[in-house]
Structures are given as structure tokens and as C-alpha cells.
Structure 1
């Protein structure tokens, strides 16, 4: 995307204030509104609480360890910042070979299902991933197993298969490489998929591009595994550093998740619309209601934590940080609960 890396460079210029030792709650950014300051502060406090609960679960730790700033390595964070800014990320997921062809086929309104199926079948690994995900609780529409790509395209339709393809492309990149990252990778994938589905459901309610919202909803989770792996590389190269601790990982994710998501979107050549969705989540426009991506991630995060019996926001506080009405919130939550429950039974 033209000008994107210059924007990243500007973001990290030395004249900018240095990041605070403790990371800000940057995952859920409430839109700036004309509400009283007290209400805005209350919303910010709730989003910080939800973010802390999420990181405790993802990193399998408690709040006390997460707040231990003495174990923070600024040297490792500076190296990570340097790699992000200068396109030197060793763990950056490369663009899947079939992605450009798939995007062209999916955006061609005159294209037929057979052509799309042929592209998918040309990549056996992608074919297997698509069938697995199409039959997962998040996408399965009935009791019958989807046994072929043609059947998946027919049953799910173009919009449905777009989302399955997005998930199928990213899933191998988030599979655990070893036992040390197994739990984190598993939880990050479940969280990302739940948030992506929530963003998709909300986009449909608002008449927005549901497929684009689903795809960008997966990118923060992919950025999490990418940043964690990059930190492992950095710490491995630093004498005596060892494995990155939970404070370092949490700080890196909180500071750089949106930048890393943008870098991945740029590396993959995703359309400008996708960058715009990410930017609106990171920097909500003043006096504007919340964004679809942020609302989806708030609901998705709360439902994942509820399902895992983790610390969570009280139900009555959820709508204080959403721009959805009660009926819309209920519909999205019901859909997510059904998928999570079915997944647990499976």
C-alpha cells in the first residue's frame, strides 16, 4: 500500500514521546464522543479491565505477574520496534501463493463457482484446511458433513466461502510449532476466530462488507503469534535473555498489535479497505460511534472468556463500551455462544 511504510516510520520518529513503561489498553479503543468525561473514563476503565482479563487468559498467568514492570526488557522492545519499522521481521507471514488468484476470483461477480473450486483444488493443503474449517462449529450450517470444495462453495455461498478461505489461509500460520507456544497458539486462534465472526455478524447488521470485517478480525490474532515469535528470536540472540516473559510479551502485543496487523495486510497486498478498517479500530474518528471491528473484538473477547470461565466483565457493563443496542448485542452473543458450545462438545 503506497505510503504505508512511511506512515509507520512517522509513527516511530524519535521526536515522538517514548512509550510508557506500562502498556496502554490499545486493543479496544472507544470512539471519542461528546459524552460526559466521567462516562468516557468509565468506558476506558472497563476496556482496560477486559484487556487485562484477555491477556491473563492468553498468556496463562495472573494479574500480579502481568503487572510486574521490573521484568520488562526495553532493549528487546526497541529491537522489535526497529524490525517492524524497517521491514526486517523474520517471522512475518508471507503472502500465500494462491491468495491473489483467490481474491480476484472472489471479487469477480461474473465468475462461476467452478473456477473458484479449481483454484482451491490446485492447492491440496488449502483444500484440506477449507474442508476442516467449513465443517467446524463456526461455519457448519447443518448436521451433514461437507465433503468437497464444490459442496462447500454451494452450501456456504460466495460470502461464506470467502470467510472460510481467510480462516484456512491463516490457520497453518497460527499452528503451534512446539510445546512452549501450544497453549498460546490454541487460545489465540480461538479468540481470533470468535472476534472475526462477531465482526462479521455486526457488519451484516450494519450493511457493511462482512467478509472484509471477518478477515481483518483475524489479523490481530495473527499479529499476536507473529510478535511473540519475533520476540523469541530477539531474546534468543541476546546473551542471558532467555525466553520472553509474560510482561514482555503482553507489552509488545499491546504496543504493536495494530502496526503488525497493518504490516501483514501490506505484505499480503490486501485492498485499501482492509487497512482502513484496521486504522479506524486503532484510531477511532472523533465524535463517531464505535467501529465494527472494535465492537466485534469486545463481544468476541468477552464471550471467549465467559466460555473459558475466566475473569470477565459483568454483563451489565458490556453495553457501556459497545455502540450496539441491546437487541443487536443479544443476537451476536447468541450466535457466538452456539459456536463456542458446539466446539466444546466436538
Structure 2
């Protein structure tokens, strides 16, 4: 199952027979070159570089440890594969109770804002989360603090509140349960929000559904914490230890992130187009013109690494693996930098 970054290389491959399936997927995938002459091998190298840098940061480790010979983990991966394939994931996030009503209210372009506010206020914990998210650097539009749901809906508008609701629904599920996963959970959440906002901005430029792209842009981060927690359970049962090693986590994330993302979307009853966006990122087709999620993941990943002062993809290589004009890329990067800089 392809990973996020190996989509990128796919976009640059000329028409030729598909290679045989490999035992491990990559993080990013692509299809064909859109502007610049670049070989599939060069694109793959850039993709792998960005992937490795991201995993080093998320797992708080170095390239040498990430590349270390993998300990015996076949049984753990086999069990994870079984649980994903048969919907037996014990850590799969359950659908929030108010989600169906919220999805219906938010999808109604002529919907009543007061009705939306009433749905949110009916869930006190969701209300608190929405106000916290609305006042975070990722969404806050000015210096004034948003103090009520009505005020949030008024200031942010329907599109803005859609994204805040998506983030607020997922945020508690990614809160660290203990000190061992605290750093990973914190970084995964920041990465997810950054990629989601990047995908949203790109979708707006391309005239696509920006709110839907924001939501699906968050799902990989939620999939990451879900996979990590499931591995803890599996390792506890198989080894007597609940903390999987770094190489096992990295392998599982790269191999099963899309499967877990689709499973969450299915469990939550998200609309078919959300599944379609995920599938188009997992398995891009040649000459794909709209790739908001793909490019959002790439730009978001690079910018969050830049902000964290981590090893990164060289700036001059970014345009080789996105499907935007230089001007569009610059606009999205400027917007993302502004969001990240507000957190400093």
C-alpha cells in the first residue's frame, strides 16, 4: 500500500509496466512530471529524503537509528495487518456522537447559524474544544479572543467553523495518554494541522472543496497515533512490553497509514468524496491535474520541518515534486509560514 511520499515519485514515472509490489510502502507517492524535466529516480530520491526527515522528527531520532536493521517484528506487523483488514482495531477512534448532526448542518450552504451553534452547545466538551481551537494560531484571525460559539461562527464563517469543528473533534483523540507518547502526539498533531491547512489553501486556489480537503488532511495524523497505540497493545500481548521500537513504528506508519485513514473515514461515515480524495492521494493517476491533498502534504511537511529547524528537503527541490506554479507554491508557503510563526 503506497505511503504519502512515494506518491510523488509515481507522478514522474513515464508510461511503463508497473513494478512488482514491494513489502514496504513509502510515505509520499506521485504520478508524472508536470513542469520540469526530472527522472523518476530523482523524484524518488527527493521523496525519500523528505520522508526520512519527517520520520526522524516525529520519532525524535536520527537517520542512523531509523535505518538500523529491523529487529524481528514480523508477528507484530502481521497482527496489525489482520486487525486493519478485519476491522478489529481496538484503538480505532469511535465516531463522535454529534458528528452526524454537525456534518449535516455544516454541509447545508443555506443552513441556520443559530442551529449550528445549538448543536455545538449541546456537547459541552466539544464546545470547550472548539473555543480552544478557534483561538489557536492556526485559526485565530485577530487579536481579540473568541469567547463564544456564536462569536466563532460569526467571525470565522461557515467554512472557517467547518475546519475548526473538524480539528476540535479530532484533537482529544490525539492528546497524549502518557509521557512516552507525549512528544510524538504533539508533533503529529502539529504536522497534521499544518498539512491540513496547506491542503485547504491549495484547494481554494484550485476551486475545490477546501473544507473537505482540510478534514482529510488531518486524517493521516490521527491514523499515525492510532497505529502507534495499536502497536503498543500488540507488543504488550506478544512481548510483554508495550513500547514498540522505532524501526517497527516507522515501518508500520509507512505501510498502513492510508489503510488506517480510510478505515477512520469509514467508521465515521464521512461522505464518499472524502474517501475519493484519500484514494487519489494513495494511488495517483497520470496527468492528475488537481492534487491538493498530495501537494498539501508535501508543502506542509516541509514547512513544519523548516519551522522546527530540522533536516529538510532543499528549497530549490520543492518545485520538482509539487503540481503548482511557483507563484501558487509561494502563496501557500507564505500562508503556512505565517501560521507556524505565530506559535513561536
Say whether the fold is shared (TM-score over 0.5): yes
Cα offset, 1:38, TM superposition: 5.2
SS in 2 for 1:71: coil
Looking at structure 2, the residues matched to 106 and 187 of structure 1 have their Cα atoms a distance apart, in angstroms, of 29
Structure 2 unaligned regions, length at least 5: 1-19
Cα offset, 1:36, TM superposition: 9.4
Looking at structure 1, the residues matched to 160 and 302 of structure 2 have their Cα atoms a distance apart, in angstroms, of 24
Looking at structure 1, the residues matched to 42 and 307 of structure 2 have their Cα atoms a distance apart, in angstroms, of 25
Cα distance 1:130–1:240, how it changes in 2: closer, same or farther (>3 A)? Answer: closer
1:117-156 aligned at under 5 Å gives the runs 117-156=117-156
Cα offset, 1:287, TM superposition: 2.8
Matched, 1:311 2:315: no
Which has the higher mean CA deviation after the structures are superposed, 218-227 or 62-71? 62-71
Looking at structure 2, the residues matched to 70 and 103 of structure 1 have their Cα atoms a distance apart, in angstroms, of 43
Residue in structure 2 matched with residue 253 of structure 1 by the alignment: 253
Residue in structure 2 matched with residue 24 of structure 1 by the alignment: 25
TM-score normalised by L of structure 1? 0.91
Cα distance 1:238–1:37, how it changes in 2: closer, same or farther (>3 A)? Answer: farther
Cα offset, 1:267, TM superposition: 0.1
Cα offset, 1:31, TM superposition: 1.7
CA contact (8 A) 2:233 2:242 kept: no
Cα distance 1:306–1:334, how it changes in 2: closer, same or farther (>3 A)? Answer: same
1:194-209 aligned at under 5 Å gives the runs 194-209=194-209
CA contact (8 A) 2:70 2:248 kept: no
1:93-242 aligned at under 5 Å gives the runs 93-240=93-240, 242=242
Deviations 1:205-256 (A, max 9, x none): 0000000000000000000000000000000001355520010000000000
1:52-63 aligned at under 5 Å gives the runs 52-63=52-63
SS in 1 for 2:152: helix
Cα offset, 1:43, TM superposition: 1.2
SS in 2 for 1:321: coil
Q: CA RMSD in A?
A: 1.6
Residue in structure 2 matched with residue 91 of structure 1 by the alignment: 91
Looking at structure 1, the residues matched to 54 and 29 of structure 2 have their Cα atoms a distance apart, in angstroms, of 15
TM-score normalised by L of structure 2? 0.91
Deviations 1:149-177 (A, max 9, x none): 00000000000000000000000000000
